[in-house]
Amino acid sequence: MSKNKEAKKPSKASRFKTPEVVFLDGLSNQQSSKYRLAQGFGVLFAVSLVLQAWALANVFSDMALHQSFSLSLLVIGLFAILLRALANFGRERICTSASRDIRYGLRRKLVSHLTELGPARLRIDEDAALSTRVYEQVDALDDFFSRYKPQVFMVTLIPCVILLSVVSISWIAFFVFMLTAPLVIVFMIFVGHKAAQANRRQFSVLAMLSNQFMDLSQGLAELKRLSRTDEARDRLSYSAESYQKTTMGVLVLAFLSTATLELFASLSIAMIALYLGLGLIESLPWQQGSSPVTLTQAMFLLLLAPEFYLPLRQLGNDYHAKQKAEAAATDLLEILNTVQSTAKASAPDSNLSADINKQAFLSLRQVGWLESGRHRLAPISLDVFKGERVWLSGESGVGKSSLLHLLLGFEEAYQGEFYIEGRPFSERNLAEWRTKLAWLPQSPEWVNGSIKRNLLLGIEAPSDDVLQEALRKSQCDDFIQALPNGLETSLTELGSGLSGGQMQRLSIARALLSQADVWLLDEPCSGLDTETANAVLNTLNQVSKGKTLLIVSHDTHPILWADKHWSLNKGGLHEKNNQTIA
């Protein structure tokens, strides 16, 4: 992560667009018509701004000089204010709607992308953290699209319009604006840079604080047993205090630069006011005895002066929106860039195809895949016959799980030839193939709901006898009967009181109910102690007879009843004699 950030800095300096900026630009281009409409409203806003200033300046000067005013000018002025309010209203509505469309569209895209990734999504993060990205991080883009993005246009538009309307009235005011605007912009960049640094630092420290809290909170039971909760509280208190100190150190500087900018704007308004005042009483050092502007013109300038700097100051306030959006974009890009397949399977190799064993249920020839030059799975060849039970072992990272994902149909970028029942995998109907499968991963897949709902997830409800039979075979009946609510007990995300072994038994029951004849198991025993694991494996042995079964398991949990034992390593697949180990 830190490396990543370092790498980004020089690219920013050399004015290349970072992937985040490209990503955000691409998203906002989706709504370019809305943004154009918003710009139209922006123009209306700017015009009504000038109109308002002109009309009110006339009313004011009449009032000051003649104690009276023209009703029509007042009406024009008020009409301009109304126009301004309406333009603002329209602009706001359009920008928020553009932001909504972008965010909800992006969210749909992310969800469907994660769906396609299947088990590979866990390479990015765990599900809870992914949900934060899909919801919170996408919403973190809101301010950027609804405020910052349109504001960038206003920042160029409004000062230009004001300069144009001022140039014919007073050269001096025009030059004051002209000279201060670039200075303000220079300050802006400076401030933005500072604020960005402060923000980034604050974000990372805050994340660290949350992390510390979560760590202590997760281990709270342990802390209570050790009677160390007060010490932990002190630790939290101490780190919150030191966070406060360091953050304030940064913020004092960051705000100081914002304040300098504000002061700058304020002082130039005051300067113009003073110049106008002195000019009106004909006491300018260089122009005594005559006034460079009339009172109406002076009023007009005075009313426009704060408006000239306002958009810049707003942009400065919204700058954090950009920071936030870029930080979120980094996380979102990580999801979108995790691709399931870069290229479809290579053209069929006739040599390999010829070698395929058409009698076998599964036949793989030189199947493997390269990802960025690294073998995620070394090319392997194997045949699995119907009803055969195969134990696949090997160190972590050699691609055992990837092989299972391939069989599940979630990985398509493999090389080599892969046949099922004598037909190429790519020609098979994926949905139909998947109905034959049962999937038992390391931690069983559960949705929120009752045990029954989970057992029948996605299948037609079977008769009660069938259900009881499955529970009996998987040895779930005893402990389910002991539950006060039986099958209706809900399996919540945490702490249902069922042990890991019982959970695995439930997933065996589910596999039995689904009538699948190909079972894929990914380290079903890795979280269990040896005794429980052996008991679960025994059950598996009894219920899986006659099924085609592929089980990934470490040597620590040997599958002694398997028909074949294959050991996978970086070099490829080696068949071992299962009986010698037994």
* Residues from 301 through 320 that contact other proteins (CB under 8 A): 302-303, 306
- Whole-angstrom distance, CA of residue 505 vs CA of residue 503: 5
Q: Which is nearer to other proteins, 230 or 427 (CB)?
A: 230
Structure tokens given for 180: 């201060």
Q: Of 160, 179, 186, 220, which lies in the binding site for other proteins, with binding defined by CB under 8 A?
A: 220
> Diameter of the chain by CA atoms?
114
Residues within window 184-203 making contact with other proteins, judged by CB under 8 A: none
Distance in Å, CB of 304 to other proteins, minimum: 13
Distance in Å, CB of 490 to other proteins, minimum: 9
Distance in Å, CB of 437 to other proteins, minimum: 5
Q: Which is nearer to other proteins, 395 or 445 (CB)?
A: 445
One-character DSSP codes across 241-298: HHHHHHHHHHHHHHHHHHHHHHHHHHHHHHHHHHHHHHHHTTEETTEETS-SS-HHHH
Q: Of 256, 339, 560, 581, which lies in the binding site for other proteins, with binding defined by CB under 8 A?
A: 256
Q: Which is nearer to other proteins, 198 or 573 (CB)?
A: 198
Q: Which is nearer to other proteins, 164 or 430 (CB)?
A: 430
In this structure, the chain runs to a length of 582
Q: Contact region for other proteins (CB under 8 A) — 12-20, 35-43, 174-182, 434-442?
A: 434-442
Q: In what order do the strands lie in the sheet with 518-522?
A: 437-440, 518-522, 548-552, 389-394, 564-569, 572-576
Q: Of 71, 189, 343, 347, which lies in the binding site for other proteins, with binding defined by CB under 8 A?
A: 71
Distance in Å, CB of 160 to other proteins, minimum: 22
Q: Contact region for other proteins (CB under 8 A) — 92-100, 176-184, 393-401, 420-428?
A: 92-100
Residues within window 463-522 making contact with other proteins, judged by CB under 8 A: 478-479, 482-484, 489, 492-499, 501-502, 510, 514
Asked if 530 interacts with other proteins (CB under 8 A), we say yes
Q: Which residue has the tokens 């499955």?
A: 470
Residues 517 and 436: beta-carbon distance below 8 Å: yes
Q: Of 448, 515, 542, 569, which lies in the binding site for other proteins, with binding defined by CB under 8 A?
A: 448
Name the DSSP class of 94: H
Closest-CA residue to 518 (of 440, 429, 447, 452): 440
Closest-CA residue to 198 (of 143, 247, 270): 247
Q: Contact region for other proteins (CB under 8 A) — 8-16, 29-37, 130-138, 165-173?
A: 130-138
Asked if 68 interacts with other proteins (CB under 8 A), we say yes
Asked if 338 interacts with other proteins (CB under 8 A), we say no
**Binding-residue total with other proteins (CB under 8 A):** 148
Asked if 408 interacts with other proteins (CB under 8 A), we say yes
Q: Of 134, 169, 304, 476, which lies in the binding site for other proteins, with binding defined by CB under 8 A?
A: 134
Q: Which is nearer to other proteins, 64 or 160 (CB)?
A: 64
Burial 349-381 (b: 16+ CB within 10 A, else e): eeebeeebbeebbbbbbbbbbeeeeeebbbbbb
For 149, 181, 183, 215, the CA distances from 162, given in Å and listed in that order, are 21, 12, 17, 56
Residues 118 and 407: beta-carbon distance below 8 Å: no
- Whole-angstrom distance, CA of residue 92 vs CA of residue 387: 65
Distance in Å, CB of 422 to other proteins, minimum: 22
Residues 144 and 322: beta-carbon distance below 8 Å: yes
| Residue 204: Cβ within 10 Å count | 14
Q: Of 125, 262, 349, 412, which lies in the binding site for other proteins, with binding defined by CB under 8 A?
A: 262
Asked if 354 interacts with other proteins (CB under 8 A), we say no
